[in-house]
Structure 1
Amino acid sequence: MQVHKLVIHQLEKEAKVKGIKEYNSSEALMALNPGIDRMYELIHESFENDKTRHCKFKLEEVSNSVLLNTNHYLEDDDFFLKYTKASLDNLASRIENVLFASGGYYLFADYTVNQKRFMSIILVRNKEGFVIAFNDRKKNFDFNDTKNINTDKLAMGYRLNVNLYLNRETDPDRNYMALLTNQGDDLSDYFLEWVNASEAVNGKIQTGILINAIKQLGSDDPDEGEADFQGRVYDLIMSYRKGNKGSINIDNISEVIYGQKRRIRDYIELSLERDIDPDIRPDGSILKKLIQIKAQVKGINVTFDVSKLGNEVDYDGGVLIIRNENLVNQIKSQREFNG
């Protein structure tokens, strides 16, 4: 982990009151030290493990300040401070009339972890474990403590995977933006509009990604058949979903199936080269693909349980074989019925 650039600005307003209460803007980049690197390691882990959603820029919003200034900075390495100031000026104009916005300290960073480059903006408040003070003499902010940072209570955050963003045309399926709210709150509309975030990836797509990963990973038990494994996982997900108001946590599911919290998400990212949120609301019809196979052509629809494949249902080359006398009798009966 290495932080390359960091700028802090303060933008405060009172909730339920219009107008900006306090606006302190840094005049220079922060001095970096190993404590800041450690702090950003924790912040990065929050994006990996907590209430995160993946999406993209709305690229059609060509006048968006964060998008425009991000592009300027990626073309001009000396533009970082201007990027942060221009972006925050735009935010100030957005929130001054938003009654329930309160603001705080906005940390803009450019950093590298595991040879991957990221840009992030996080909103924090002093009461949430970040002890930040404005230094009038230096016209900059000081961290009074980087050892006891509490990233469990980050207010909101945005993170851009720079490499994925720059390669978006050759890899259009990847989501290069991550949005964070550790406190489980919905992200504020003004924040989503400010960072120009697209709609979240819908539940059907994310469920499909999960099912694909589970099928490819398979069972760790060589004696467990494919149908038994997939049926067991289906029952697990449905039970977890029922007990959690329709949501599942991918890492918790992974730990139960494989004994490793990150195994499913790491496989999705590294092997499938896709993205999935840590918490999703799985789509029931897509989940059934774990236990059912459906196929259709014009005039023919076939649906059967995975457990029937290789027994009552099989295929040989271009021939589908169904061995079930009851089905045969039903078809005969309908053909012979004269009305």
Structure 2
Amino acid sequence: MNELILHRLIVHELHKNPEERDARLRLSNELLTSDDNAVELVAGLDQMFERKPDLMQGYLAAPDESLFPGHYQVWLEDGQGRDAFVKFSQETMRALQLALTGVIGAKGGYLLYADYTIDEQRLLGMFLIRDKSGLVFQQRSDDKGFELDTTTFLDVNHLAMACRILNGPGRNVQLIRHSSSQSKISQYFQDWVGLQNGESSTELTHTFLDAVDSLPMPMDKETGNAMEESDFKRALIQYAAKSPQQTIQVKNFDEHFYGNDTPLRTYLKEESVPLEDGFRIDRRAMRKQYYLKASHQGISVGCTKEHLSSGLVDINEVEGKVTINSLELARFLLDQI
């Protein structure tokens, strides 16, 4: 796990039952102690956020267009200090209370505000977590054995709602994307944060890959010649896998593959594609773009598009045949018969 620096942490409680129209608040006036337990909690929540394959991404609305962005801007201008952080969290909780009024089905919980840095990227994380009932073994009063008892603890393995805002001029926002059955309930969270131009990680990844397909092949640093397309695709997947916070910045991409040239930035500007401030990659969608896999009747086949273009794998749709031209693979299978 990458080192996490926890700057400030505070928690507030939001009381709301799904069948109720109104919400109540229990606000904290003091920060939580930034000890090892707090760091472990935030690191675990951030890691859980990282594992989400598809997120909603966009930008904060202008400070004068919504309550949350306005309070966020004040916090930044006040230097992100302790008192300003407490006030920012309290004011935005009150805004959330207003946003929840009349929303049937929405539930409350503990909203944790975390100001932290990881992978040299400063973030504001907001995680809605809830209590969970469980069982524990308690020693009997007669010391003759144990008995089961109930207990309540934080369910840190499930995020009810979560959002990260990347510190910087881009005001980039990432939110957990919920299933369509929860869209009406979770929409209030997006409205509260003031998310604009929201798109999913999968959609943005496909947009990025379409743009990359329009670029010239970068130079191979070892040979000085243009890279082979297959080599570039492998390098691209490796680059995405190592990107901090799974976020690709256009400037960093151009520098990594093209040095002082800026072909991707130029293309995005000319085509008005909104990726300039970076985006969270969907690794699964990226791999599917280059790696193909199919299973039927107990037979599984996996290959790359390079295998198709080279003729190593041939698909005849008319005859319904998939031919793999590999002596080594044939021998490997025959050896097991």
TM range (shorter): 0.5 to 0.7
Give 1:207's aligned residue.
206
Whole-angstrom distance in 2 between the partners of 1:116 and 1:263: 14
Determine which of 71, 83, 86 is the counterpart of 1:81: 86
Alpha-carbon displacement from aligned partner over 1:75-128 (angstroms, at most 9, x marks no partner): 212311111111111111221311111121111121112332111211111129
Whole-angstrom distance in 1 between the partners of 2:131 and 2:69: 28
Letter in 1 for 2:279: D
TM alignment of 1:31-42, pairs within 5 A: 31-42=33-44
Q: Does structure 1 residue 274 correspond to structure 2 residue 278?
A: yes
Gaps of 5+ in 2: 135-150, 255-276, 291-308, 311-337
Whole-angstrom distance in 1 between the partners of 2:282 and 2:122: 21
Q: Relative to total residues, which structure has the larger strand share, 1 or 2?
A: 2
Give 1:238's aligned residue.
none
Give 1:96's aligned residue.
101
Q: Percent identity between the aligned chains?
A: 20
Q: Does the residue aligned with 1:27 lie in a helix, a strand or coil?
A: coil
Task: Indicate if the aligned counterparts of 1:109 and 1:120 stay in contact, CA closer than 8 A.
Answer: yes
Give 2:11's aligned residue.
8
Pick closer, same or farther for the CA change 1:217–1:151 going to 2, 3 Å.
Answer: farther
Whole-angstrom distance in 2 between the partners of 1:68 and 1:16: 31
Pick closer, same or farther for the CA change 1:205–1:27 going to 2, 3 Å.
Answer: closer
Q: Does structure 1 residue 48 correspond to structure 2 residue 50?
A: yes
TM alignment of 1:8-27, pairs within 5 A: 8-20=11-23, 22-27=24-29
Give 2:241's aligned residue.
262
Task: Indicate if the aligned counterparts of 1:54 and 1:176 stay in contact, CA closer than 8 A.
Answer: yes
For residue 56 of structure 1, report the CA deviation from its aligned partner.
0.5
Whole-angstrom distance in 2 between the partners of 1:64 and 1:119: 18
Whole-angstrom distance in 1 between the partners of 2:129 and 2:253: 34
How many residues in Structure 1 have an aligned counterpart in Structure 2? 234
Whole-angstrom distance in 1 between the partners of 2:33 and 2:41: 14
Alpha-carbon displacement from aligned partner over 1:124-168 (angstroms, at most 9, x marks no partner): 111299xxxxxxxxxxxxxx99xx9765410111111112xxx33
Q: Does the residue aligned with 2:102 lie in a helix, a strand or coil?
A: coil
Q: Does the residue aligned with 1:16 lie in a helix, a strand or coil?
A: coil
Task: Indicate if the aligned counterparts of 2:9 and 2:113 stay in contact, CA closer than 8 A.
Answer: yes
Pick closer, same or farther for the CA change 1:128–1:58 going to 2, 3 Å.
Answer: farther
Gaps of 5+ in 1: 130-143, 169-174, 234-252, 289-306, 309-339
Pick closer, same or farther for the CA change 1:86–1:150 going to 2, 3 Å.
Answer: same
Task: Indicate if the aligned counterparts of 2:131 and 2:154 stay in contact, CA closer than 8 A.
Answer: no
Could you say what the CA RMSD is over the residues aligned between the two structures, in angstroms? 4.3
Alpha-carbon displacement from aligned partner over 1:280-301 (angstroms, at most 9, x marks no partner): 879xxxx79xxxxxxxxxxxxx
Task: Indicate if the aligned counterparts of 2:247 and 2:281 stay in contact, CA closer than 8 A.
Answer: no
Give 2:174's aligned residue.
178
Whole-angstrom distance in 2 between the partners of 1:264 and 1:211: 19
Q: Does the residue aligned with 1:153 lie in a helix, a strand or coil?
A: coil
